[in-house]
């Protein structure tokens, strides 16, 4: 199929974003040019300017694409999760790891320093709204006794940091070949550890989602 026919129906913008994702993974957000994006997409350099006035506009579109996709995946996970604050909290984390395995180029771009600084105002507002919903779930969980009374900001830092770490390990290949099923198992495992904590328990504990079982500590 010729380049002209391939982009006849208006998917050139999406093709350029996809090409930019690959270039960001290769060279970072500041290390590539629009000419390189055009070459990777199989179009002439001037064709880029039909959709993006400059590199900053393209980077903003990439950031918005990443934010929208991961946001949609996490929102869908929460929508189908049990109406329990801890389960909703875990559902977001599991969706994040699954997304990283399914969309490694998006995940790598999301992990690049300074990309989120380009996030358009509308996409930034949507991301912040999702974070507020997560905060509300933690508050609710603490109020009903299902989430420990750590400072909320500490929880909202520690949990995403651990989940991002396991996602990065999978994408980097540090855990071997990880398919969607294994990604879910890993996400369940890490969120089980987060949910149970490291403080010894007098009674045995079983996490139904992951199958993790802890022996009770003898007193």
**160-185 pLDDT, tens per residue?**
999 999 999 999 899 988 888 999 99
* Residue 219 located in a structural domain: no
Same domain, 182 and 166: yes
The single-letter DSSP state of residue 116 is: G
Residue span of the structural domain in which 194 resides: 59-214
CA dihedral 101, 106, 108, 112 (to 10 degrees): -150
What residues pair up with 206 in beta bridges, in sequence order?
213
Q: Is the pLDDT of residue 218 over 90?
A: no
Same domain, 44 and 107: no
Tokens of 216: 């009770």
Among 153, 68, 169, which residue's Cα sits nearest to residue 110? 68
Q: Are 78 and 88 in contact (CB under 8 A)?
A: yes
* Residue 106 located in a structural domain: yes
- Per-residue pLDDT tens over the stretch 133-155: 999 999 999 999 888 888 999 99
Compute the C-alpha angle 138/140/143, nearest 5°: 110
Task: Name residues whose C-beta falls within 8 Å of residue 206's C-beta, 6 or more positions apart in sequence.
Answer: 212, 213, 214
Give the pLDDT score at 118: 82
Q: Distance of alpha carbon 158 from its chain centroid, rounded?
A: 15
C-alpha pair distances (Å), 200 with each of 197, 204, 217: 8, 10, 6
Same domain, 93 and 7: no
Find the range with the poorest average confidence among 40-54, 71-85, 173-187, 196-210. Answer: 196-210
Mean pLDDT, residues 119-136 taken together: 91
Same domain, 94 and 41: no
Same domain, 75 and 47: no
C-alpha pair distances (Å), 192 with each of 93, 121, 189: 11, 35, 5
- Per-residue pLDDT tens over the stretch 47-68: 999 899 999 899 889 989 999 9
Mean pLDDT, residues 191-215 taken together: 73
Q: Which three-class secondary structure state does DSSP give residue 206?
A: strand
Same domain, 124 and 168: yes
pTM of the model: 0.81
d(C-alpha 218, C-alpha 97), whole Å: 35
Same domain, 138 and 89: yes
Same domain, 63 and 156: yes
* Residue 100 located in a structural domain: yes
């Amino acid at each position: 199929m010729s380049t002209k026919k391939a982009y006849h129906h208006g998917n050139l913008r999406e093709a350029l974003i996809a090409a930019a994702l690959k270039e960001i993974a290769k060279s970072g957000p500041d290390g590539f040019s629009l000419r390189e994006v055009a070459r990777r997409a199989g179009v002439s350099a001037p064709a880029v300017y039909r959709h993006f006035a400059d590199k900053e506009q393209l980077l903003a579109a990439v950031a918005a694409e990443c934010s929208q996709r991961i946001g949609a995946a996490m929102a869908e996970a929460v929508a189908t999760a049990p109406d329990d604050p801890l389960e909703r909290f875990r559902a977001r984390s599991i969706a994040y790891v699954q997304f990283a395995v399914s969309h490694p180029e998006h995940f790598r771009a999301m992990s690049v320093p300074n990309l989120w600084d380009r996030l358009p105002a509308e996409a930034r507002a949507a991301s912040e709204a999702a974070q507020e919903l997560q905060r509300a779930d933690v508050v609710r969980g603490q109020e009903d006794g299902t989430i420990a009374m750590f400072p909320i900001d500490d929880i909202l830092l520690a949990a995403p940091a651990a989940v991002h770490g396991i996602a990065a390990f999978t994408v980097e290949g540090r855990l071997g070949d990880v398919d969607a099923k294994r990604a879910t198992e890993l996400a369940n495992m890490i969120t089980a550890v987060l949910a149970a904590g490291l403080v010894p328990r007098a009674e045995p504990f079983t996490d139904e989602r992951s199958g993790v079982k802890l022996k009770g500590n003898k007193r």
